[in-house]
Amino acid sequence: MYSTFARLSSAVLCLLLLLVLVSGCVQAPLTGGKPPGVAPLSPSVAIVQMEQKAQVWRDFQCKLGIVVKGTSGDFSTNAIVLVKSPNFIRFETFTPIGTTAALYISNEAGPFLLIPSQKTIFTARRPETLVRRFLGGSLPVDLFSSVLSGSIPPERLKKIRSSGDDGLLRLIAKGPNGYFEWQIVSGALTRVFIGTSRFEGQVVYDPAVRLDNESTPETIRISSKGWSMKIHVEKMQHAERFPPGAFRLPGLTGLRRVDLDTVK
């Protein structure tokens, strides 16, 4: 029995020695070079995808959770947004008990802001004037609807140029209306820089939004000097039709009208 065990032990030792000798002849894997990953997206492909996404998300509705911080105070609210391109928007925020806190309407007659608790309808020539009164920041309204869907306004795509560096693709629109830069990494929109006469700031997507037509943002952070807004997108869906009167002010009586363009 002992001799049998000895013979088995000798065989195992020989096998181990053989493996050691053979492994010494095997070359180690080559090191260096870039690790495998997602190839940078070409500008032409990114622009085509953004054009398609902008068309798909022309008309939509979404439910939002919003936290705003600014020099005039902080507040949080829930909101429902309806967008019907190119110029119809309904942005309604609610009180804790579910009544309307503020209602922003944009239609062919212009922008309006209704504050039921004040029994007041505010008007202005520029939508950004009402948005500042509404949310404390004056992000361009046409850009805001695209920010919500993670796309680029079609009119800005027509005059866009691109720049790529180290896996970062920058799509840039620059003109009389300001500077806009969309940053794309690994086929996903991560950040937007905005520079206009009325708003300078950035938009950050967390996580980044893929460029395919079905992907929508989850958390959006918009910030400028002294003001920020965090948006949690709870539900976003395409809208083939909207309820009648969705983009009209409700027929309330006893409301006063204030033109913010004439208020100093």
Q: What sign for the dihedral angle of Cα 247, 252, 257, 260?
A: negative
Give the tens place of pLDDT for each residue, 114-152: 999 999 999 999 999 999 889 988 888 878 899 999 999
Distance CA 145, CA 139 (A): 10
**For the chain, how many helices (H) and strands (E)?**
5, 14
Alpha helices in 112-231 (DSSP H): 127-135, 141-149, 154-157
Residue 264, pLDDT score: 65
Q: Name residue, tokens 């918009």.
A: 222
Residue type, 258: V
Mean pLDDT (the chain, rounded): 84
Residue type, 165: D
CA-closest candidate to residue 231, choices 60, 69, 105: 69
113 and 134 in contact (C-beta within 8 Å)?
Answer: yes
Q: Which CATH class is domain 43-259?
A: mainly beta
- List the structure tokens of 48: 């085509």
Residue 208, pLDDT score: 97
Give the tens place of pLDDT for each residue, 6-40: 443 444 333 333 333 333 333 333 333 333 444 56
Which is higher by pLDDT, 192 or 38? 192
Residue 235, pLDDT score: 86
127 and 135 in contact (C-beta within 8 Å)?
Answer: no
- List the structure tokens of 193: 């820089």
79 and 198 in contact (C-beta within 8 Å)?
Answer: no
Residue 163, pLDDT score: 84
DSSP SS3 for 81: strand
Residue 40, pLDDT score: 61
DSSP SS3 for 236: strand
**Mean pLDDT, residues 158-182 taken together:** 88
Sorted by where each begins, the domain ranges of the chain are 43-259
- List the structure tokens of 81: 């947004």
Considering the entire predicted model, what is its pTM?
Answer: 0.81
Give the tens place of pLDDT for each residue, 76-113: 999 999 999 888 999 999 999 999 999 999 999 999 99
Residue type, 150: G
Measured N-to-C along each axis, helices 141-149 and 127-135 cross at an angle, to the nearest 10 degrees, of 60
Residue 15, pLDDT score: 35
Which is higher by pLDDT, 166 or 135? 135
